[in-house]
Each structure stands twice: as C-alpha cells, then as structure tokens.
C-alpha cells in the first residue's frame, strides 16, 4: 500500500475531485459536483453532493445515475437544476436539464431536446426562469425540425459539414453543423407530477421523431439564426427574469468580436448595448436590484503589444458607462456584484496566487478579500450579505469548498473529497532577470531533500502563454514528480499573468527572448540551493510550455532530458492550421513568427527529447508533432534505425490527455524517460505499451 496516493498512479487517478459549486438562494447550503473514477478506471462519473455553507455538518450525496450529473444551479425556490444524460428524457445519450425538488422526491426532466443541453447559463434570482445553452441545426425552424434533421443524418450516416465561414474547429471538436443558441425556460410550466400516458404514447410513434413533449415547458429561442458563433462569452439575467444580457459574437472579417446584447425574454428583441470594432466585451454581471450592468472590455492585441482588460459599469440599459479600477492591471477571470450592490467581486491572477478582490463602485482602490497562497474559483456571492462561498486550491491542495466572510475570514466547508496527504513541501524562489525585472516561481520539494541528499530538478513550464502556475491541476501535477524524488520548479516567466501588463509585454512578439532568459535565470536560482542537484536536471512543458521546451532544446544543452507535449514547432505552419488562426497570426509579425520558430534550431538540439501529441488536438494540430518528429529523425537517427528521442502518440486524445488510463500511460512514459536520462536508470517503457 503506498504511503500517499501520489506514489501510485492508479491510486492518484482514483482520488475524488470537486469540479463545481453552486450556492442555494438562502445561502445555507452548497451543491458540489464531485467526479470519481468508474469501475473499469477509464472515465469519471459525476454526482452532486450537498454541504452546509457555514462549515458545520457532513456532506450528503444528492444524485446517483450511471450517466452522472454536472452544471448545478439553484432556482429561487431552492430546487436544484442540473444537466445529465440519465435515461428518461430525449434521445439516448443526450444530456438534458433536470430538476431535483427541494421538498424531496426523485429528479425530473425539464427538457427533451434532440441535441441535448450544453449547460445552464443563468437562473433568475427572483423568477422561475432559467437560460440554457443548446445546439440547434441551422435550417431548423422548430424543435421538431431540429429532431427530424438530426434523425435523418443519423439514419443516413451523414457526418459531413458544409462550412461557409471561419473558424471551423475549436479546441477539440468540430464546429457545426449545429449552432449554439440560448433558450429560455419558464419553470412554472413544469407540471407538479410527471405524466405517464401521454409520454408513453409519444414514445410509441414510429413515423419519425415525436413532437416535443407537451407535458414539458417549451423552451423559447432567444438567439435565432446565430450564424457561425463559436461561443458566448458570459451571460446574466435580471432578478425578475425579464432580461438577459449576453456577450454574443459578431463576425469581424475572418475573426470575430464579442459585444454586449440585451435580450427581452418575452419578445426576443435584441438591443446592442456595447459594440466596438476591434474590441471584445465579455463577462456581463447584473446588480442585485437589476439596475446596473458590469462587464469587461479589452481592445484586441496586435504585434505592437498586449492590451489591458478593463472593468466597466453602467445602467442596465447600457447608459452612462464608466471605467472602474483604472491602474489595476490585473485581468479578472470572473465578475459579479456583491450582495449590497456597492462593489464588484472578482478573481484574478496575482503574484503566483489567485485571490478574490473587491472593486468598489465609488472609485476606491481595489482590495483583496483574502491573503493566502491559494487560488479561488467558482465564486458564489451570498445574497443574504454574509460573504461568499468558493472553491480554492494550491499546489498542495486540490479544490476545496470554503466560505469567505466580508472581513476575509476563510472557513473550510465539509467535503466528500478531502485533501490527500502530499509528498512534499512548497516554497517560493525568485531572482532578478537580466533587465532588472523580478521573476518568481513555486518550488515543490520532495520529502528528504537536503544538502546531503539534493533532489534532481525538473523545470516545468506552463502553457498559455498568458497564464500562471497558481492552482492545483489534476492534469499537470508536480506532486507526482515529487513523489519520485524530483524538485519541481514552476516558474512564471515573461508573458505570465498576475504581474502586470508590462511583465506580459516583455515577451510579446518575441517568445524566444525574455521568456527563455527568465526561465534560465530562475533555474539558476533554483540550482543555487543546496537541496537541489544542478547536475541532474530536465525541462518539460505542454502547449506554450511545449513551445518553450522546444526552444530550450535548440538553445542550451544544460538539461539531461526534455519532454515536449502538444508543442508548437514551426510557427509558419502552426499559424494557419490552428483552430483560431486569426488570433495567433494577429499577435505576431511575420518576421517575429519566423525568428521565434523553434524549428529553425533543430540542428542545435543535443538533448534527448520525448515528443507527445494527441491526434485530436485542434489548438496545436498534430502536424506540429509530426514535423518535429520527422526533423529529429532526419538528423539524429543512426544507420541501425535508433536514436535517443521518443514519440508518444495518442490517436484519440486532444490538447489534453483526459482519459484516466491514458493519463497513467503519459506519466509512466514521462517518468521512464526522465529516469533513464536524469537518474541514469535502465531504459524502460510502460508495460501496457508492449
């Protein structure tokens, strides 16, 4: 039996994980989405749990189904809404909206849409109105049309998509043929008891899809004919349920911009509130009295430099907007009003953490609500005025539910997924870069690291590039390396968020310059410690971190091994083949893209590399990994067909490796490769790979 779950990959993937949080309208309880490994260890099953929101009591499981549940939200009456593909509504394997009555009893379906429900977007605070995201076929005029078209494609086994615009893919999935819509549902139309006979009669129809069930509330389409929309960047609903404010996409040449649109729920009338060419408006939030609207505004970046994310507030109809928090150059990741409506509550990266901030509407300075080493997410404001609840995590603790008082006091809530024992400690390292800028990192030290027994160093570079190492990740977990004796350095080089706009600008349009020298400087600071062994080092990263791993490989031989996952290799190839080429090609000049392309330095690579890529990766297409592998093979393969490099390929994974059994293979392959070249162990491979 391992001493902690990080010693065994099988035990690690079996740890329960909290993925979401919702707060009841009276603030007394929180609903947690908890995922657990299924019986054959090939996927995760999700269930909803209730915990008291004051720190007392014990967690209680609310749902059980083979298909699982997610996306919880409460109605004003305290009923719990969620999304699930459990049987009983719509077609098999389609996720629908369900409701679990607060008074008790079984969960009941709210929708029976042929294409299912993507998620809950907003729920009115004082009215029985819920907004859901769904995908509908573009030629469908009714819900019945949508069902008929889908059934016809399925019957004839047609998967083709005719595109008339750009983009055509997003992250890991094809866009189309269906288009994303917002639907409004009036929960008062839901009968108190689920009928039996009518529903059975509808299911017996053999002449095509049945009409939309009359016993269910009929959703109202708030965004008919949305066009080639890839996403909706936030939506909110007034407390009375009459108005939805959403950040909807509008075409802008090959790309798009988000604009703030007000939608009258009763009539479907759209009124554009904020729209500017070359500017994105996102994350709308509505005040508790329904009178004010807050949102984020960001001018699109160009090769000349990054732009700030501004916080604005104005009337609900869009009038007299004014900017808040000028001079606060952090990028909010969430935004909502405090219970009293006098301030905004936001989360943002900050100095390797992710605090909760209060942004006063009267123009007073922004102030952090908490002062700890955690990152907060899923923030839900208690409408009763007693603070908020949220999930918080660090590199020593996965997401856990907490209550934060108005004074910033943090109280842990009961949890069905307690924090596991971890095999290491966390400390900070910082240095001064060559241009005088402070650069910092987290350093995870394994148990027993000391001057007598210094630990080998693993430099782990984050993705993004606009991101920060500041929160627990089940996918990129340094504790797994610490359990195997490595000290893991998690740096925030130039381009990282949480240090101001100037810090990001240091690496803009020049990824191979300051980001690289920052990484080398912070590595020097780490190996200067007597508990770190500077003679045994490796570097690794994914996405942008993979780009930097490739760049490191071509610019220094100081590391014994390099692991590059889902990495950018040839910028001239990546630019036009990624899923959103218009963005990546707009932030580089052609000259800078070529100058900063790692493929130009393939002849300088002398360090063994493990290349990893998933075939379904649309953000960094498989062509990057294939070209990197081909060019390494061309230069470094011996006459007998061997070389020091390796290529781990996943035919059915995307930018991330999401299937738990594949995550095990990923880590086993990485640790075997590092063990061979850094720890000088015998070469090995995961047994499952033959």
Torsion of CA 416, 92, 90, 35, to 10 degrees: 10
Q: Return the structure tokens found at 231.
A: 């996403």
pLDDT of residue 194: 64
Nearest CA among 336, 410, 406 for reference residue 373: 410
Backbone angles phi, psi at 684, to 5 degrees: -150, 170
pLDDT of residue 284: 98
Measured from the Cβ of residue 515, the count of other Cβ atoms closer than 10 Å reads 23
Mean per-residue pLDDT of the chain: 95
Task: Report whether pLDDT(163) > 80.
Answer: yes
Burial environment of residue 556 by CB neighbours within 10 A (0 to 12, 13 to 18, 19 or more): middle
pLDDT of residue 191: 83
**Distance between CA atoms of residues 321 and 310, nearest Å:** 12
Task: Report whether pLDDT(18) > 90.
Answer: yes
Task: Report whether pLDDT(205) > 60.
Answer: no
The mean pLDDT value for 479-505 works out to: 98
**Distance between CA atoms of residues 193 and 215, nearest Å:** 10
**Distance between CA atoms of residues 451 and 435, nearest Å:** 31
DSSP secondary-structure letter at 188? G
Task: Report whether pLDDT(207) > 70.
Answer: no
The class level of CATH for 424-689 reads: alpha beta
583-587, long-range: CB < 8 A, 24+ apart: 583/255, 586/255, 586/300, 586/301, 586/302, 586/303, 587/301, 587/302, 587/303, 587/508, 587/509
pLDDT of residue 378: 97
DSSP secondary-structure letter at 597? -
Task: Report whether pLDDT(196) > 80.
Answer: no
Helices (H), 46-184: 143-156
Helix/strand/coil percentages in the chain, nearest 5:
20, 35, 50
Q: Return the structure tokens found at 308.
A: 């700030």
Local confidence band at 200 (pLDDT 50, 70, 90 cut-offs): very low
Write the DSSP assignment of 224-250 as a string of letters. Answer: SS--S------EEE-TTSSEEEEEEEE
Instruction: Spell out the domain ranges in the chain.
Output: 424-689
pLDDT of residue 3: 72
pLDDT of residue 318: 86
Instruction: Render pLDDT for 589-610 as a digit per residue (tens, 0 to 9).
Output: 999 999 999 999 999 999 999 9
Task: Report whether pLDDT(578) > 60.
Answer: yes
In this structure, of 80-84, 187-191, 194-198, the range with the lowest mean pLDDT score is: 194-198
pLDDT of residue 481: 98
């Amino acid at each position: 039996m391992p001493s902690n779950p990080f010693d065994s990959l099988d035990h690690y993937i079996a740890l329960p994980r909290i993925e979401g949080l919702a707060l009841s309208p009276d603030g007394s309880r929180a609903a947690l989405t908890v995922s657990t490994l299924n019986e054959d260890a090939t996927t995760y099953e999700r269930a909803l749990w209730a915990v008291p929101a004051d720190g007392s009591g014990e967690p209680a499981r609310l749902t059980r189904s083979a298909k699982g549940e997610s996306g919880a939200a409460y109605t004003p009456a305290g009923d719990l809404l969620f999304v699930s593909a459990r049987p009983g509504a719509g077609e098999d394997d389609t996720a629908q909206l369900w409701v679990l009555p607060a008074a008790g009893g079984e969960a009941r379906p709210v929708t029976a849409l042929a294409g299912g429900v993507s998620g809950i977007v907003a729920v009115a605070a004082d009215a029985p109105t819920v907004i859901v995201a769904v995908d509908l076929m573009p030629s469908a005029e009714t819900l019945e049309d949508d069902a008929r078209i889908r059934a016809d494609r399925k019957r004839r086994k047609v998967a083709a998509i005719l595109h008339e615009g750009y983009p055509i893919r997003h992250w890991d999935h094809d866009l189309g043929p269906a288009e994303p819509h917002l639907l409004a549902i009036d929960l008062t139309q839901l009968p108190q008891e689920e009928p039996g006979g009518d529903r059975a009669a509808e299911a017996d129809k053999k002449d095509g899809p049945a009409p939309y069930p009359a016993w269910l509330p009929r959703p109202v389409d708030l965004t008919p004919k949305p066009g080639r929309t890839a996403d909706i960047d936030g939506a909110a609903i007034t407390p009375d349920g009459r108005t939805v404010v959403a950040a909807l996409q509008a075409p802008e040449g090959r790309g798009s911009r988000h604009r703030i649109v007000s939608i009258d729920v009763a009539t479907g009338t759209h009124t554009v509130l904020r729209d500017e060419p070359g500017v994105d408006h996102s994350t709308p939030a509505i005040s508790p009295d329904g009178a004010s609207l807050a949102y984020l505004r960001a001018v699109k970046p160009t090769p000349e430099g990054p732009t700030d994310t501004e916080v604005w507030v104005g009337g609900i109809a869009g009038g007299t907007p004014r900017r808040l928090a000028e001079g606060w150059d952090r990028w909010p990741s969430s935004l909502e009003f405090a219970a009293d409506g006098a301030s905004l509550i936001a989360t943002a990266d900050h100095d390797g953490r992710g605090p909760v901030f209060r942004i006063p509407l009267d123009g007073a300075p922004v102030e952090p609500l908490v002062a700890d080493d955690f990152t907060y997410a899923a923030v839900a404001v208690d409408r009763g005025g007693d603070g908020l609840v949220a999930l918080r995590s660090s590199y020593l603790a996965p997401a856990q539910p907490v209550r934060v008082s108005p004074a910033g006091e943090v109280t842990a809530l009961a949890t069905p997924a307690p924090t596991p024992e971890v095999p290491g400690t966390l400390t900070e390292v910082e240095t001064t870069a060559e241009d005088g800028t402070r650069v910092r990192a987290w350093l995870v030290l394994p148990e027993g690291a000391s001057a007598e027994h210094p630990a080998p160093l693993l430099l782990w570079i984050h993705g993004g590039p606009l991101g920060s190492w500041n929160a627990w990740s089940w996918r990129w977990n340094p504790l797994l390396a610490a359990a195997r004796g490595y000290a893991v350095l998690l740096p925030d080089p130039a381009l990282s968020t949480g240090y101001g706009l100037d810090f990001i600008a240091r690496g803009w349009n020049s990824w191979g310059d300051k980001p690289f020298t920052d990484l080398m400087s912070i590595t020097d600071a780490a190996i200067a410690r007597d508990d770190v062994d500077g003679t045994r080092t490796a570097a690794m990263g994914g996405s942008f971190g993979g780009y930097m791993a490739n760049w490191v490989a071509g610019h220094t031989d100081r590391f014994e091994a390099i692991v590059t996952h889902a990495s950018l290799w040839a910028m001239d190839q990546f630019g036009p083949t990624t899923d959103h080429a218009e963005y990546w090609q707009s932030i580089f000049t052609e000259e800078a893209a070529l100058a900063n392309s790692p493929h130009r330095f393939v002849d300088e690579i002398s360090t063994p590399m493990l290349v990893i890529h998933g075939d379904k990766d649309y953000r960094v297409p498989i062509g990057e990994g294939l070209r990197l592998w081909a060019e390494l093979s061309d230069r470094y393969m011996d006459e007998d067909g061997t070389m020091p490099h390796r290529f781990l390929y996943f035919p059915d994974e995307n930018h991330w490796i999401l299937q738990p059994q594949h995550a095990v293979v990923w880590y086993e392959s990485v640790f075997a490769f590092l063990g061979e070249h850094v720890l000088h162990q015998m070469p090995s491979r995961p047994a499952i790979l033959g």
